[in-house]
Structure 1
Amino acid sequence: MIKVEIKDIQNKLLEIIEYFDAFCKENSITYYLMGGTALGAIRHKGFIPWDDDLDVFMTFDNYQKFLLVAKNNLNADYYLQEENTKEWPMFFSKLRLNGTTFIEEDTKYRDMHQGFYIDIMCLNKTSKNLFLRKLQFLAARIITAKTVSKKGYITDNKIKKIGMKFFSVIITSRIEKKLTSYIRRFNEKKMDYVGHFFGRAKFPNTSFPIHYLGKPKNVKFETLVLPVPEKVEKYLILRYGEKFMEMPDEKTKSLYPQHAAIVDLNVDYKDFIKNNKI
C-alpha cells in the first residue's frame, strides 16, 4: 500500500460527503450518518480517529429516489456503484470518486470501479414483532452469504467459508428475488420500526423505532455540518451500548480494521492498476 496518512484518506472522504450532502439537499432526499460515522460525529465531532470509511443510511423511499436521480444527474467527477448488479452484487450502493484509487483486499481483482467511496445503505421497514424482524434479518443474512462470495470476501473462518459456498450454490436468482421481496415487503406500509439488515451488526443491534430517525439533526463533522438521526443517542445506545461515548479497548478496535489495501489520492484506479503490480 502506498503510504498515505489516515487524515489524507479522511479528507478525501469529506470531499465526497460534501458533494453527496449538497446533491441530496438539491433533490430533497433525506439521509443520516450511521454506525461508526454517526458515533464519530457525536464522540469526536468527526471521524473516529482510525476510520477510513464513511457510511450513511436512508429510508427505502429516499434510497429509491436517490438511485433514480443519481443515475443521470451526478457530477462527472462521481460514479454511482449501484447495488445488486454484476459489478457490485452487494445490497447497498456506493458513491465513488473518479480519478482516485481505493482498492480493498477482497476486491483487488474484480472488474469494477475502485475509487474512493462512501457507502449508502437502505433501511427497510419492519415489524414490532421480534419473530418477524428476525425472519427479515435471516433472509438478509442468507443473501449476504451469497453476495459476499460473489464479491470475493476473504476469511479464515471455516464456518463462514462453508456458509458462503453452500448459499452461493443453492440460492438461485429466483430465490434471491423472493428473499429480497420478503425483506422489503413492509416498505409500502405504515410501520413503527426500521431495520438495517444488510450490515455487519448482530440481530439485536439492527432494528429500532422509526421515530429515532425523525427530523435530521445537524451536527459538526470535521469541517462540515451533517445530519444524524434526531434521537441519535438512542440509536447509538442500541448499536453500541450505553457506554458508546467511551473509547474502546484494543480488542474492540481490532474488530474494525481499515478497509484500504492500496490507496492513491490523485491517480485513477484504472491507471494505477495498469501501471502497477497488485
Structure 2
Amino acid sequence: MSIYQHFRPEEKEFIDQAINWIDQVKDSYAPKLTDFLDPRQQEILTSLLGNDSEAKLQFNGGSDFVERKRVLIYPDYYSPEPSDFNISLYDISYPKKFVTLEHRQILGTLMSLGVKREKFGDIIVTEECIQFVAAEEMEAYLTGNLEKIGKASVSIKRLPIGNIIQVQEKWEEQITTVSSLRLDSVLSAVLNMSRQKTQALITSGKVKVNFKQTENVSDECREGDTLSIRGFGRCKIMSIDGKTKKNKWRITLGRQK
C-alpha cells in the first residue's frame, strides 16, 4: 500500500523531503532542523514519523499559539534545547500615528527582499505593535535591508523570544450539510453564497487549501483541511460526520473569529 494515497497528490514533493529528513537523522544519528513549516506540513511530518522509536520530533515557532514552526527531528538519545531552533523575534517600529500596516504588506515586503517564505514564521499584527519571527541566520540581512514597508519608513529591533505577543486563535464551530465534499460546494455552505460565486473565487486564485493556492473547484475536502478565502477569513473542517437521510454530508466547521 503506497504511503501517498493518504495524502493529496500535490503533497508528494513535501512527503519525499520529509522522509529524507527522517532517514538522514536515523543514518547520521544526529539532529536535523527544518525551516518553518505550515501546520499542514507539521501534520504530515508527524504522521510520517508515527511511533518510530529511533527518531522524535519537537516544534518551536516562538509560542504555542503560532502557526508556522521549525521542527527538530532528533535521535532518541538527544535532549533538545530552545537554542537548537535558531529563531529570532523582531519588533517593527513605524510611524503608527500616520500609517496602518497590514499582515499582507509585511509579508509582501519580506518576500520582495528575496527572503524565502520558509525562512520566517508568524507575523503578529495587533493595534499596539507588529512582530515577526525569523530564522536566526537571516538577522544581518533583515536588519540591513528592511527599511520600508509600502511608503512607510520602518526599523526593526530584535527582542528576546519570550517577549512574543501571545495571541490565541478562536474558532467558532457550526454544523452544516453539503451536497458534496467538493471545494466549491463546501465553500458555498461556509460563505452562504452560490456555487457559481465560490467557483469564481477559486478560479481567480483567492482560495487556499492547507495553505496552498488551488484553482481546482472540484478538489475534494477532507477532515482537518484548513480553507483560507481572501477577503473572507479562514475556516477549518473539524469533522465529517457522515451522511443524512437525504444523502447529504454533515460536517462540523470552525470559523476563525
What TM-score does the superposition give when structure 2 sets the normalisation length? 0.29
More helix by share: 1
More strand by share: 2
Greater C-alpha Rg: 2
What TM-score does the superposition give when structure 1 sets the normalisation length? 0.27
